[in-house]
Chains A and B, each alone.
Chain A
């Protein structure tokens, strides 16, 4: 029973309490780049979640046999291979979305979020907890991406998943699209606003003023 509780908290903590994007500010490059529409945000989220979960699982299985001297290289090789496989898969079955994501799928390789989880968690825990933790972090990242993607697509184009939600002024409705929402800076503003809102509600996430990095590891 105690085990189950700990898996559950491992899974849910990264959603808001320890969210990798809003608390640790990891992986924001892709979070800013691919969130102009819900479809790309969702594909990127799923790809990253698959890569991080499988990567954490594989690395956790061989964790006792990774020589310390080459551990980063081994982890990167495993992650990079998974990313290439995912990218090939997207190109084959989701050609349109794969084109929209362009290089950002490959950049999952260098996403600090993935390496962060394998380096700090999967190397010290068994496969199951590692995968649960990675999956939770993937979901946390996905949550932020989907919120950003939803806001940007809704206010930038008046659409969600490509379907018109708000009637456009050009076509007789009342909504004038905010083109700013489709440009990169808006993602910064929105993400900044999101971080501010979260930290106002959960004041324990506020970083101490002397620039000491926040405690990012769950204390278990």
Chain B
């Protein structure tokens, strides 16, 4: 009976479980079906997830601005929206022919990325885009607030945050963490409003222009420090390095200088 059955599926099922052919085929089928399942779930659900993340980032940005004293009124005056500008990081000015809409496309081109030397790569990124999008709040002609997206390698994964800097381009007005995967209960406290409340008023650079900002070990002692997070030394120092990288010469340094000189 078995010899007359030419249906390959039934012949496969009839094989003893220990046979090598069946082992390989079962392993292959299980992985293939699982792969299809996982991929289709990811593909089908991705648009919703992207929309969620974008909405969340928008919410955090407006929360950040509203949380800074005096900014809510200014935001209302400007029609409730921030102006979005794509920045050429190397030149420290607005990019010539890239708009926020074309930024994503531009960044798929490897030519628009700079590979970082190990010594410069404080934030652990490996490479840095040459163009990023920042948000400005103007009061008349003057810039009264600038929101700078920053990113860096944390303890558990990439940390994304937005730093708000006052018009003097040296005083931090606030921070919002938009994405992280730090240890819940320890490093994840970078999300806590009580910790983020340390940031407003902290200075970035000293008179000689060096970035002095850091997350202290323990309680902040100087104007350039914010309190550390107990039990999250690695996360704290990641935040320090991320901030120093992005506010330094490799990051937004040239832009902050240019704005400070009134060239923007």
Contacts and interface: CB of A to CB of B under 8 A. Distances in A.
A85 B27 CA distance: 20
A165 to B, nearest CB: 23
A84 B43 CA distance: 12
A157 B185 CA distance: 16
Interface string A60-101: 001011111110011001101100110011011101000000
A70 B23 CA distance: 7
B155 to A, nearest CB: 13
B92 to A, nearest CB: 35
Nearest to A91: B49
A25 interface: no
A85 B49 contact: no
A68 B19 CA distance: 10
A179 interface: no
Contact of B23 (A64, A69, A80, A91): A69
B262 interface: no
Interface stretch (B30-38, B69-77, B96-104, B136-144): B30-38
Contacts of A103: 181, 184
A74 B17 contact: no
A103 B23 CA distance: 32
Contacts, number: 69
Contacts of A184: 185
Contact of B22 (A65, A84, A91, A183): A65
A102 interface: yes
A88 B42 contact: yes
A91 B41 CA distance: 11
A74 B27 contact: yes
B52 interface: yes
A66 B188 contact: no
A78 B27 CA distance: 11
A168 interface: no
Contact of B38 (A69, A85, A95): A85
B52 A88 contact: no
Contacts of A78: 30, 34
B26 A74 contact: yes
B207 interface: no
B48 A81 contact: no
Contact of A85 (B19, B26, B41): B41
B45 interface: yes
B23 A81 contact: no
Given A69-B18, A91-B45, A103-B181, A84 B27 contact: no
13 contacts: A66-B26, A67-B17, A67-B23, A69-B18, A70-B27, A78-B34, A80-B34, A81-B35, A84-B38, A84-B41, A88-B41, A91-B49, A92-B49
For the complex of A and B, list the 7 residue pairs with the smallest distance between their C-beta atoms, beginning with the closest.
A81-B34, A92-B48, A92-B45, A67-B23, A85-B41, A95-B52, A67-B17
Interface of A: 33, 62, 64-70, 73-74, 77-78, 80-81, 84-85, 88-89, 91-93, 95, 102-103, 183-184
Interface of B: 13, 17-19, 22-23, 26-27, 30-31, 34-35, 37-38, 41-42, 45, 48-49, 52-53, 56, 181, 184-185, 188
